[in-house]
Structure 1
Amino acid sequence: MAVAHSARPKAASSTSTRWIQLGLGMIAMMAISSPQYVWALFTGPLTEKLDVPLAEIQVTFSLLIILQTFLAPAQGYLVDRFGPRLLLSCGAALTGLSWILASQATGLMGLYVTYGILGGIGTGIIYVGVVGMMVQWFPDKRGLATGLVAAGYGFGAILTTFPISRSLHSEAGLSGTLMTYGIIIGVVGIIAAIGMRRPDEDQLPQSTLDTPSNDAVLEEGGYEPRQMLRSPIFWLMFVMMTMMSTSGLMVISQMGAFAHDFGVADAMVFGLAALPLALSIDRFTNGLTRPFFGWVSDRIGREYTMTIAFGVEGIAMTIWLLWAHNPVAFVLLSGVVFFGWGEIFSLFPSTLTDTFGTKHATTNYGFLYIAQGVGSVLGGPLAAVLHDMTDSWNVVFGVVIAMNFLTAFLALVVLKPMRDRHREQSYADGDLYLAARQDA
């Protein structure tokens, strides 16, 4: 284990460079966001085309998230080892290709392999790689930077939700829509990936221990993955992120289904169909919350921010369920729900890197990101099965609402004291290390 430094930040030799990298990272994330965030638009056409139950169609979504997440440690290691340009370009190409090939799928297995497996591998490389780059480029603004690129992943689908919805109902249909937008996704993602690179040491401000966002960064190496995996803090964060991922992914994957069950999917709200309007608003709030709460956490601390955000989602989801049959309430409250959820993609990677250091940040976050895959299983097909067993969404909502409040509680009452003790030990290790270097 390496130790923390207490040096003050020094001026970056090229301030603009890292903001250019941030912009490229946001573009890459926007390009590969649609496979996850517009999935609800495809469930109906795919169920009709393939003539299979919804639960079997939803396996595609779970494969997408599982492959995106369970391969993340290996993908993160490759990015750390060989750099982002090649790996991220491959990720963008695979993501676009997944939709192009899915447009020709005639059975479930073809859909699983193309949209699910290829899409999961491609989006996973981009997501983990970009987040891993940003926690290294911005040691002094880690919450904000990871929030902004994660916002790109949330905002990106705003640009495609209505065009894809219209395309699905046009002569292009399902196949033409997947083909056209697959090409667009691949080209835009590759262009952004070509410009990305790792930071040089002399281009960055040095991390400090006296800023809330960097209270225990171990700059001279940090924790290796095997060291991190022995820490109870990592596993607590893994459980917390799993519960929060389950909550959001249940809504993302099942929203089309329960909107139809509540009778609001095709209702007109502000002159637009309720379901695509809700999905567009969700993409906006899901993107906005990531830099916002990341910025807040840079100032008041990660755990306090988690408690506030997760509590907001739990309250909003409770009210949403009670008013779900009202089209206007359904649309507006869905946006509040996502405002309380999307920040997990800025808070968790920032907290993890604060705790375990930057050198292995991409690989380490890859292990934590597996929690998103676990959440996809719980929030996708298992939620659909639970609904089919109970013939009601009340039980499904009740479970995820409880997860929200439990995670908010754990952040403040359990995670914060554990990280405080970890930080104190880091200080002690740092003092011993500096003393040893002076003696040498």
Structure 2
Amino acid sequence: MDKDRNAERQLIILGMAAEKGRWLLVSVGFLINVCLGSIYAFSIFRKPLETLWGITSSQSGYPFMVFLAVFAVAMPLAGNLIAQWGPKKTAMLGGMLVAIGWIAASFSPDIFTLTILYGVIGGAGVGIVYGCPIAVIAKWFPQKSGLAIGLTIMGFGVSALVTAPLLKAMIDNPDIGIMNTFLYSGIAFGVIIMLLAQLLSFPPDKWASAESEAISSAHATATLPTLNFSRQAMLKTPSFYALWATYTIGCLAGLMAIGIASPVGTEVAKLDATMAALAVSLFAVFNGLGRPIFGAITDKLGPKHSAMLSFILIFAASLMMSFFGQENAMLYLVAFCILWMCLGGWLALAPTATGIFFGKQYYAQNYGIVYTAYGAGAILGTLISGNIKDITGSYLDAFPIVAGLALLGMIIAAIGLNPVKR
């Protein structure tokens, strides 16, 4: 009996020590995501690429669109790899692909080659790495994971705050130029990701039970999933399709705003190129803050009400831009801060909702499927904005469509975002 009690006490002590140490993994995940999130600064490349190769607004968005689509498609594959190889080896593989994609892109002779090298190879690498810190944090925070996941992926959102000015400075530097910017960035990102990947690991099997013994709060366990759905079981639930549809709409609005942030700043809001680049950095702050904010909101209010709040904000921002956005720099800043923040919110809301609805046992595999909504949103958002700009001559005509989709999202969330019952 005494031996059992001593063993139990040791597990509790180990669990409490691990509870403190797990926040280091949040920092590691944050830094990895800073590297991965450089895609959100891609609008910095668009005008220089249009000038370099004489291409259209739609064509300059192809690498961004394909990158995000492949990113999302790679996530389900990464979920299986994480389960088989563990997060460290999976992240190392992804880090190598990220480096190869960026470096190879620097030798592109045209936009279509750039789209394949940067979009497909780089996008696959980011898709493989991205799920690793999230899966690790979800396992280390079995109770209320929304805030921890939000802080981890905040690095992806704030990445443009750091990378947009750096990328612009390199592009504008005559000794570097646009293509060498891809080269140097790929080397740096690859090295950083490979080093940080060494620290990623899941908790020991007995650790979760030790934490449960140490944490006796009924409020904390109230949101702990009691059901663990396999990927096949999840796909049979209405809640999955509601989550996937709302996630797609939330990402469509935010990724469209990210992809056109710089040209809208110069062409619609009439900012100069330097101010437009600084605006992208400001938006990145809100994109990053949206993740822990909506992660905490989802912990407190649940997925349904958090989703509806996001769609209300997207609807309001889209209508403001549609009616009053022309030559209105202040409104441009406010509306795009909201849209970037809501995208960040969805990137915390959706993984948290996946754990709440479907459990943590098969989390990496399940969230990989849910995350394909991100790719759908990237494709639709980029196509809508680019084609409408080419047809009408203004990006503003895309915003009424986004407002209508936000209304649809509110309806789907109200009806379908419900806890799964067996």
TM-score of the alignment, normalized to the shorter chain, above 0.5: yes
User: What is the aligned partner in structure 1 of residue 94 from structure 2?
Assistant: 91
1:29 Cα offset (Å): 0.9
User: What is the aligned partner in structure 1 of residue 242 from structure 2?
Assistant: 236
Higher helix proportion: 2
| Pairing 1:158–2:166 present | no
1:212 Cα offset (Å): 7.1
Work out the CA distance in 2 between the residues paired with 1:234 and 1:209: 29
Task: Indicate if the aligned counterparts of 2:147 and 2:299 stay in contact, CA closer than 8 A.
Answer: yes
Question: Are the structure 2 counterparts of residues 209 and 124 from structure 1 closer, same or farther at C-alpha, using a change threshold of 3 Å?
Answer: farther
Work out the CA distance in 2 between the residues paired with 1:208 and 1:379: 45
Task: Indicate if the aligned counterparts of 1:313 and 1:341 stay in contact, CA closer than 8 A.
Answer: no
Aligned-residue CA RMSD (Å): 2.3
User: What is the aligned partner in structure 2 of residue 290 from structure 1?
Assistant: 291
Instruction: Report SS of the residue matched to 1:118.
Output: helix
Work out the CA distance in 2 between the residues paired with 1:377 and 1:159: 25
| Pairing 1:248–2:250 present | no
| Pairing 1:381–2:380 present | no
Work out the CA distance in 2 between the residues paired with 1:193 and 1:349: 21
Unaligned runs of 5+ in 2: 1-11
User: What is the aligned partner in structure 2 of residue 363 from structure 1?
Assistant: 365
Instruction: Report SS of the residue matched to 1:343.
Output: helix
What is the percent sequence identity of the aligned residues? 24
| Pairing 1:173–2:181 present | no
1:359 Cα offset (Å): 1.3
Residue 137 of structure 2 is aligned with which of 111, 134, 142?
Answer: 134
Instruction: Report SS of the residue matched to 1:156.
Output: helix
User: What is the aligned partner in structure 1 of residue 312 from structure 2?
Assistant: 311
| Pairing 1:347–2:349 present | yes
Question: Are the structure 2 counterparts of residues 55 and 23 from structure 1 closer, same or farther at C-alpha, using a change threshold of 3 Å?
Answer: same
Instruction: Report SS of the residue matched to 1:201.
Output: coil
Question: Are the structure 2 counterparts of residues 51 and 323 from structure 1 closer, same or farther at C-alpha, using a change threshold of 3 Å?
Answer: closer
Question: Are the structure 2 counterparts of residues 208 and 120 from structure 1 closer, same or farther at C-alpha, using a change threshold of 3 Å?
Answer: farther
Letter of the 2:316 partner, please give it. I
1:362 Cα offset (Å): 0.7
Letter of the 2:393 partner, please give it. D
Residue 51 of structure 1 is aligned with which of 49, 54, 57?
Answer: 54
Task: Indicate if the aligned counterparts of 2:80 and 2:365 stay in contact, CA closer than 8 A.
Answer: yes
1:214 Cα offset (Å): 5.8
* Deviations, residues 4-52 of structure 1 (Å, cap 9, x unaligned): xxxxxx7724222311211111111111110x21110001111222222
* Deviations, residues 283-341 of structure 1 (Å, cap 9, x unaligned): 10000111012112212322222222321222123223413412233234322332233
1:392 Cα offset (Å): 3.4
User: What is the aligned partner in structure 1 of residue 117 from structure 2?
Assistant: 114
| Pairing 1:331–2:338 present | no
Work out the CA distance in 2 between the residues paired with 1:173 and 1:66: 27
Letter of the 1:32 partner, please give it. L
User: What is the aligned partner in structure 2 of residue 61 from structure 1?
Assistant: 64
| Count of residue pairs brought into register by the alignment | 404
Residue 396 of structure 1 is aligned with which of 395, 398, 402?
Answer: 398
Work out the CA distance in 1 between the residues paired with 2:217 and 2:253: 33
Work out the CA distance in 1 between the residues paired with 2:387 and 2:335: 25
Work out the CA distance in 1 between the residues paired with 2:271 and 2:42: 15
Report which stretch shifted further, 355-364 or 10-19.
Answer: 10-19
Question: Are the structure 2 counterparts of residues 18 and 235 from structure 1 closer, same or farther at C-alpha, using a change threshold of 3 Å?
Answer: same
Work out the CA distance in 2 between the residues paired with 1:357 and 1:58: 37
Question: Are the structure 2 counterparts of residues 253 and 92 from structure 1 closer, same or farther at C-alpha, using a change threshold of 3 Å?
Answer: same
Task: Indicate if the aligned counterparts of 2:255 and 2:378 stay in contact, CA closer than 8 A.
Answer: yes
Work out the CA distance in 2 between the residues paired with 1:354 and 1:215: 7
Matches within 5 A, 1:414-433: 414-416=415-417, 418-419=418-419, 422=420, 425=421
Work out the CA distance in 2 between the residues paired with 1:210 and 1:388: 56
User: What is the aligned partner in structure 2 of residue 299 from structure 1?
Assistant: 300
Unaligned runs of 5+ in 1: 1-9, 268-272, 427-440
1:189 Cα offset (Å): 1.2
TM-score after normalising by structure 1: 0.86
Task: Indicate if the aligned counterparts of 1:88 and 1:190 stay in contact, CA closer than 8 A.
Answer: yes
TM-score after normalising by structure 2: 0.89
Letter of the 2:403 partner, please give it. I
